[in-house]
Amino acid sequence: RNIAGVFQSFVKLIFLQPDVIFCKGGFVCVPVGLSAWVLRIPIVIHDSDAHPGLANRIISKFAKKIATGAPLEFYNYPKEISTYVGIPVLENFKKYTEKERNEFKQELGFSKEKPLIVITGGGLGAARLNNAIVAQGEELSKNSQVVLISGVAQFEELKEKTKDFAKNFHLMSFISKDMWKFLASADLVVARAGATSNLELAALYKPTILVPNARLTGGHQLKN
């Protein structure tokens, strides 16, 4: 697959003739980065996590510039081409007043009279986090409004398990629009510890319980 990816990337880069290639990490960047190196196209990478992923570690050997989300002491990248720039977040991620947060709650169909807890395991969901919340879901939803964003894979299974829960328990597979508004209106967020989501929640000044996944590459969520 990577060999085919290198060939496809090579052809596309010859056709597009970009001035620079920006890589953010992930396996899809490797064939593009290798092709860019062969074609002598400058490469810039950005690493959000405090522990560099394998793709960025490979591409960093050919990069002209490296930008990092955490201070440089967390990385083994060459200091002369590396710059700590942080992680950009959308302007919607900022501190809101209680009045504004209550307005968001009502916009989204929640009551402003009860605390709102939003639980998210990332784009694909997190099975252990989902199962732990569902196990306590009835208790949690007695005095709070609970939103569990489960991911698509487990949604149908959890839908069956939670069908008799109180109406304060809301199960969602994925939120494609206005995720920031759910986070902004929440009184408490329970989340994994991805680098970008950490910064977004910090920008919102949001009380948060982080549950890092220690099994991911190099334990990067623990370092985040």
115 shares its domain with 191:
yes
> Quick one: 164 and 198 in the same domain?
yes
Six token digits for residue 204: 């919102």
Which of 38, 60, 84 represents a domain boundary (last residue)?
A: 84
Chain centroid to Cα 159, Å, comes to 24
Residues 170 and 135 in one domain: yes
Q: How far apart are CA 82 and CA 115, in angstroms?
A: 43
Please tell me the predicted confidence (pLDDT) of residue 224: 60
**Final residue of a domain: which of 60, 84, 108?**
84
Q: How many domains does the chain have?
A: 2
Question: Are 108 and 198 part of one and the same domain?
Answer: yes
93 found inside a domain: no
Contact (CB, 8 A) for 175 and 104: no
Residue 18 lies in a domain: yes
pLDDT < 70: residue spans in the chain: 1-2, 214-221, 224
Residue where a domain terminates, one of 84, 112, 134? 84
Tell me which residue of 116, 91, 93 sits closest to 103, measured CA to CA.
Answer: 116
Q: What are phi and psi of 222, to 5 degrees?
A: -65, -40
Could you tell me if residue 90 is inside a domain?
no
Residue 74 CB neighbour total at 10 angstroms: 18
SS3 of residue 92 by DSSP: coil
> CATH no. for residue 141?
3.40.50.2000
What is the residue type of 61?
Answer: K
Are residue 175 and residue 69 in the same domain, yes or no? Answer: no
Please report whether residue 119 resides in a domain.
yes
- Residue recorded with tokens 């252990």: 128
- pLDDT reported for residue 123: 74
- Domain residues for the domain of 30 are 2-84
Pair 107, 190 in one domain: yes
180 lies in a domain? Answer: yes
Does residue 135 sit in the same domain as residue 50?
Answer: no
Tokens (6 digits) for 47: 């690493």
Q: Is there a domain that residue 77 lies in?
A: yes
One domain for residues 71 and 114: no
Q: Which pLDDT score is estimated for 50?
A: 84
Centre a 10 Å sphere on the Cβ of residue 95 and count the other Cβ atoms it contains. Answer: 11
Q: Kindly state whether residues 136 and 37 are assigned to the same domain.
A: no
30 domain-assigned: yes
pTM summary value? 0.83
- The residue type found at 36 is A
Residue 89 lies in a domain: no
The answer to whether the CB of 61 falls within 8 A of the CB of 85 is no
Indicate if 55 and 113 belong to the same structural domain: no
- Same domain assignment for residues 102 and 70: no
Query: Could you tell me the strand order of the sheet in which 82-84 lies?
Result: 21-23, 43-47, 65-68, 82-84
CA angle centred on 167, ends 166 and 170, rounded to 5°: 105
pLDDT confidence of residue 4: 85
